[in-house]
Amino acid sequence: MAWAQGDVLLDGLIKEALKNSPEIQASASRLEAAYLRVPQAGSLPDPMFMVGYQNEGFERYTYRREEGAQWMFSLSQQFYFPGKRGFKSEMALRDAQSLEAMHELIKLKTIARVKELYYDLFFAYQSIDVITEKRELFVRMEDLALNRYAAGKGMQAEVLMAQTEKYMLMERIEMLKQKILSLEAMLAAVLGRQDILIPRPNAPVFFPYVMDEDKAVELAVNNSPEIKSRKKMVDSAQAKHKMAKLEYFPDFALGASYFSRGDNFFNSSGTSPFMDMWSVTATINIPLYFYWKQKPAVKEAQAEIHQAEREMHSFKLMIIAAVRDNFSMLRSAEKLLDIYRQGLIPRSRQFLEQTMSSYATGSVDLVSVVSRVNSLLDYELLYWEKLVEREKAIARLLSITAAGAAKGENGE
């Protein structure tokens, strides 16, 4: 970024936001839940255990007395057709990886958001300083106007004009103070704080952003979490398509049963004529209604693949456009900064000093002085505005190119 040796205050706010941001914490929990769904998706259905009793007649309990009376126990387990479990797991895994990429995006956007609010907060404070300085000029002009009016060399309207301009600047200062409170509240929300005690931001130091536009576009396309997320969604849709094709094939279940009929205590020989029984079964489902179920499911999966691919392409174009847009703002701001710093501001100050001296001697009227003060005020505010706009554009570029989370690069 464009900060000399890094801004300690800004770095601290970024670390605090990455640790405490409610949005990041919610995303982390959502991501954890997504990965916990992966083993669930690939597991077998729970086995089924059955216990039952069969009696003969309604008059009495006939277990061990009648041949058909028995206790029954069975255990069954359903198995998917080979390959289905793998695709179910893959779908859940790709969805989790997509969320992981979006989690990284949220962190990048949080960093960019902290920077933008930080720069806006700096600009509000700096604007108050600039306006306060110009207000002091109007206080001086008010004194000069009063002295000229008392000496009969000026008009009362000039005194009123100087006072009006002074109060108008005081109004702007109060509005900026209210804006500072709003920005501090928004920044505190991003940081996960309840208090809004934010120290005054440090002044930025201009450093060149040396990465060219084509390199930034390449980084954005290769590193963007949004594109990575969409790629995982394409992979998930492809796994769903393969899974849908396997639904043409049946699943099956294996079962084992045991029937206890017990000894016959009424048999005088002491042996039971009723033997316990057991059985083994296998069942399969028949995809009989494939024309209304499996076939449309395959087509649905194909449509979802196309949708995911189109969305990925759309996001790629949007990201490229965002890079170029921010580069345009960055380079435009740099050119304007040179114009203000090297041309308009120093010349406006020089012209103002000459006009103030001329007014003191009565060579010009107060309207000319007010015009020069307001012009200088506008140029100075525009200078700081463009400097902040440049830093915000760099912050967004670092976010879009995924270069701001781990490295905090200067675009090198």
Question: Are residue 167 and residue 272 in the same domain, yes or no?
Answer: no
Tell me which of 263, 284, 305 is where a domain ends.
284
- pLDDT above 90 covers a percentage of the chain that reads 20
Largest CA distance in the chain: 145
For the domain that residue 127 is a member of, what is the CATH number? 1.20.1600.10
Question: Are residue 244 and residue 310 in the same domain, yes or no?
Answer: yes
| Cα separation, 242 vs 237, whole angstroms | 9
Dihedral (C-alpha) 302, 305, 306, 311: value to the nearest 10 degrees?
160
Q: How confident is the model at residue 116 (pLDDT cuts 50, 70, 90)?
A: very high
Dihedral (C-alpha) 19, 21, 23, 25: value to the nearest 10 degrees?
30
The answer to the question of residue 25 being in a domain is yes
Question: Are residue 303 and residue 196 in the same domain, yes or no?
Answer: yes
Between 10-19, 43-52, 85-94, 272-281, the lowest mean confidence (pLDDT) is in 272-281
Contact in structure between 125 and 180 (CB atoms under 8 Å) = yes
Q: How confident is the model at residue 149 (pLDDT cuts 50, 70, 90)?
A: low
Question: Are residue 256 and residue 181 in the same domain, yes or no?
Answer: no
Q: What is the pLDDT of residue 148?
A: 65
| Cα separation, 80 vs 89, whole angstroms | 13
Question: Are residue 174 and residue 65 in the same domain, yes or no?
Answer: no
Between 37-46, 98-107, 146-155, 172-181, the lowest mean confidence (pLDDT) is in 146-155
Mean per-residue pLDDT, 268-288: 76
The answer to the question of residue 18 being in a domain is yes
Number of domains making up the chain? 2
CA-closest candidate to residue 140, choices 166, 164, 160: 166
The answer to the question of residue 409 being in a domain is no
Q: What is the pLDDT of residues 177-231, one digit of tens each?
A: 999 989 988 988 888 887 777 888 888 877 777 788 888 888 888 888 888 888 8
- Which range of residues forms the domain containing residue 74? 47-79+251-284
- pLDDT above 70 covers a percentage of the chain that reads 88
The answer to the question of residue 299 being in a domain is yes
Q: What is the pLDDT of residue 272?
A: 52
Question: Are residue 363 and residue 226 in the same domain, yes or no?
Answer: yes
Mean per-residue pLDDT, 378-391: 90
Tell me which of 232, 259, 284 is where a domain ends.
284
Question: Are residue 241 and residue 265 in the same domain, yes or no?
Answer: no
- pLDDT greater than 90 at residue 74: yes
Q: What is the pLDDT of residue 152?
A: 62
- Mean pLDDT, rounded, of the chain: 83
Q: What is the pLDDT of residue 389?
A: 92
Question: Are residue 267 and residue 221 in the same domain, yes or no?
Answer: no
Question: Are residue 204 and residue 265 in the same domain, yes or no?
Answer: no
Cα 11 vs. chain centroid, distance in angstroms?
Answer: 19
Tell me which of 259, 284, 309 is where a domain ends.
284
- pLDDT greater than 60 at residue 70: yes
Q: What is the pLDDT of residue 412?
A: 40
179: three-class secondary structure by DSSP: helix
The answer to the question of residue 227 being in a domain is yes
Rg (CA), the chain: 39
Q: How confident is the model at residue 406 (pLDDT cuts 50, 70, 90)?
A: very low
Question: Are residue 263 and residue 391 in the same domain, yes or no?
Answer: no
The answer to the question of residue 407 being in a domain is no
- Residue 248: CB partners within 8 Å, gap ≥ 6? 287, 290, 294
Between 57-66, 152-161, 262-271, 367-376, the lowest mean confidence (pLDDT) is in 262-271
CA contacts within 13 A on the Cβ side of 177:
8
The residue with greater pLDDT, 149 or 312, is 312
The answer to the question of residue 405 being in a domain is no
Q: What is the pLDDT of residue 114?
A: 92
| Cα separation, 104 vs 109, whole angstroms | 9
Q: How confident is the model at residue 61 (pLDDT cuts 50, 70, 90)?
A: confident
Question: Are residue 294 and residue 327 in the same domain, yes or no?
Answer: yes
Mean per-residue pLDDT, 78-99: 89
- pLDDT greater than 60 at residue 175: yes
| Cα separation, 37 vs 40, whole angstroms | 5
Question: Are residue 109 and residue 154 in the same domain, yes or no?
Answer: yes
